[in-house]
Amino acid sequence: MAPKAAPKLTGTELVHGDDELVHGREVAASISVTTTFRAPLPPDNTPLNLDNMDLRNPERHVYSRYTQDVSTRAERVLSKINGGFALTYASGLAASYAALVHFHPKRIAITGGYHGCHNTIEVYKRSRGGDLPLIGLDDDYQPGDLCWLETPLNPTGEARQVTHSCSPRGSILNVLIRDIKYYAEKAHAAGAKMLVDSTFAPPPLQYPFKWGADMVMHSGTKYFGGHSDLLCGVLVVPTEAEWKTLWTQRTFLGSMMGSLESWLLLRSLRTLHLRVPRQSENAKGLARWLSQAAGGRAFDGIPAGVIDTVWHSSLQGKDSRGFEPSAQLEGGWNPTFAILLKNPEYARLLPHSLEFFVPATSLGGVESLIEQRSTVDPGADPRLVRISCGVEDLEQLKDFARGAGRVAYCEIGKMGRRVGFVKYETKHEADNAIDQLDGKELMNCRVRIVSLVSVHFRVTGAVTHSKAIYQDEYATRVRETEPLLQAGRMRSPAAQSTVKQERISPHGTRVARREDSRGRSPARRITCRSGDPRTDRDMQIAFEEQVDPVEPGELAENNKENETPGTGNVEASPVW
């Protein structure tokens, strides 16, 4: 089957695609919140027959559950840019349920994808007494089946899904190609239907009808809405007759969009051609940049040992069967993708440690979003972080991840909770870290960067949080601005004190523990010399004795017994 021609997304279509439905002098559509409309005097006693109304071009409105000005206009624009007949719903999941009602499938072929759709299918199954078998996409189809293909895949953004399974003979590599044309031909040959969830790739990125889809579904909340301020679902079918059937079913399912949300959607569609290509380019650039650090490598300021895998369709080329993701994604790459970090703690902390990424679920908004996916999808790997790129400048999105320079080594949480240890390649880059990052807000606390000079390292820096309550038998007040590495302790009121023992502190200096005449340990401070007289003066070091620093391995080994006092009641934070 040769691919069909796809419509070209243009600003003209988005801005003027609903002009034939505009009545009046206004330029921007008015917000209408009315649910009902004044009726004209009927010519006779004949009841209203909706079947005789042109529901796509209504001369008047009766009730907003049927039609209203703004939703009708939004659906007209959506129809034109998707190359079919579009109907809006209250949410993406409402649209997915409506698709199930419409197809009434004998079985559903589905593998992976958005967990919300799987849960909607379970709800629909209960309406049929549980009589709805689920099969895999690569199983054999029968007449009456529904092939449910999500591409690119949520949450990874892949056009070709690669998984590993175990068998008595060892690990098996499974490759599931999200090839619309392949599965459309397979479904139609068996008398089945095919639905494509194209939420991750709206126009102009992907046009599923071109490759044989019977229905296209979008969560319009995402890219069609584009501003994180509305809920919307969209179903698109190739014929007006199917659209009328969907309209009737929606009317009595009661799952239409609200009037205000319809207005927000129409407003957002005007700029779709500006937003999505920019988001696509940002995602491609960011994914390819991050992929250089995959496998735990250090790259361009990304610390070693942090990123395991980066998933994105732009990183997948033609396979042995000839499927080329760029052919299906003809207008650009999906703006949402995922990374797998080395451990779940990094995934928990990273979303809350970046300046220009908002730690929130969902995707498609003009602002970049990031989330540890397992917080909303219990089935996701806790190391997986999903990233939705917005329209910001790509280099600025990289900047805070880079920090201030090339990172050669880092430790997170090993020196005490909420303390990070970073080694930069050069002193200049360490100085940049202090200039650029010191005093910035991170996780609702102000970050302090403390410079340390070592004979074993060229330059090191320590990232700390400034606000902490230091608990000690002799401490009577809170020091809010001193770095944690100083411990911020008050001196003991003891008149006499002598050196009793020494221990290695986590940052490589010896700390003199002193006891008063009654054998009690007073509050103590930790030596933290930087070589900068201004820094040393600010530290107000007491009872100090500078010695050779220790290597990071020693820090890790001795961390528990030598942990900095006063850092045990706050959480760790990532360095980038």
Q: Do 535 and 551 belong to one domain?
A: yes
What CATH number has the domain bearing residue 179? 3.40.640.10
pLDDT score for 410: 57
Same domain, yes or no: 89 and 73: yes
CB-based contact 418:464 (threshold 8 Å) = yes
Measured CA angle at 166 (ends 162, 170), to 5 deg: 105
Q: Which domain holds residue 481?
A: 407-557
CA–CA gap between residue 175 and residue 182 (Å, rounded): 14
418 backbone dihedrals φ, ψ, rounded to 5°: 65, 30
Among the three residues 344, 375, 402, which one is the final residue of a domain in this structure? 402
- Please report, to the nearest 10 degrees, the dihedral formed by the alpha carbons of residues 372, 377, 378, 383 taken in order: -30
User: Which of 217, 248, 270 is a domain's end point?
Assistant: 270
pLDDT for residue 359: 96
SS (H, E, C) 152-168: CCCCCCCCEEEEEEEEC
Whether the upstream peptide bond of residue 152 has omega within 30° of 0, thus cis, is: yes
Spatial distance between the Cα atoms of 344 and 349, rounded to a whole number of angstroms:
9
Report if residue 4 sits inside a domain: no
Query: Which class for 42: exposed (0-12), middle (13-18), buried (19 or more C-beta within 10 A)?
Result: exposed
Sign of CA dihedral 48, 54, 60, 61: positive
| 123 within a domain of the structure (yes/no) | yes
Q: Please indicate, yes or no, whether residues 302 and 207 belong to a single structural domain of this protein.
A: no
**pLDDT for position 94:** 98
Same domain flag for 181 and 327: no
Written as tens digits, the pLDDT of the chain (576 aa) is 567 777 889 999 999 999 999 878 889 999 999 999 999 999 999 888 888 889 999 989 999 999 999 999 999 999 999 999 999 999 999 999 999 999 999 999 999 999 999 999 999 999 999 899 999 999 999 999 999 999 999 999 999 876 644 544 444 445 678 899 999 999 999 999 999 999 999 999 999 999 999 999 999 999 999 999 999 999 999 999 999 999 999 999 999 999 999 999 999 999 999 999 999 999 999 999 999 999 999 998 888 999 999 999 999 988 878 899 999 999 999 999 999 999 999 999 999 988 889 999 999 999 999 999 999 999 999 999 999 999 998 887 776 555 545 555 555 555 555 566 666 666 776 777 777 677 776 555 666 776 664 333 233 334 333 333 333 332 323 333 333 333 333 333 333 333 333 333 444 433 334 444 444 444 333 333 444 444 444 333 332 333 334 344 443 444 444 343 333 333 333 333
Inside any domain, residue 194: yes
Residue 448 forms part of a structural domain: yes
Whichever domain contains 385, its CATH number is 3.90.1150.10
Same domain, 347 and 433: no
Domain C-terminal end among 384, 402, 420: 402
Reduced to 3 states (helix: H, G, I; strand: E, B; else coil), residue 335 is: coil
Residues 205 and 289 in one domain: no
Going by C-alpha positions, the residue among 113, 114, 183 that lies closest to residue 147 is 183
Model's pTM, two decimal places?
0.72
Residue 509 lies in a domain: yes
The pLDDT value recorded for residue 525 is 35
Q: pLDDT (tens digit, 9 = 90+) per residue, 456-497?
A: 323 333 433 333 333 333 232 333 333 333 333 333 333 333
Contacts (Cβ under 8 Å, ≥6 apart) of 400: 354, 355, 356, 576
Q: Are residues 476 and 370 in the same domain?
A: no
Residue pair 72/58 in contact (Cβ under 8 Å)? The answer is yes
Report yes or no on 2 lying in a domain.
no
The structural domain count of the chain equals: 3
Residue type, 276: V
Mapped onto helix, strand or coil, the DSSP state of residue 387 is strand
Q: Which two tokens stand for residue 511?
A: 């700390």
First to last CA, the chain: 49
pLDDT at 356: 87
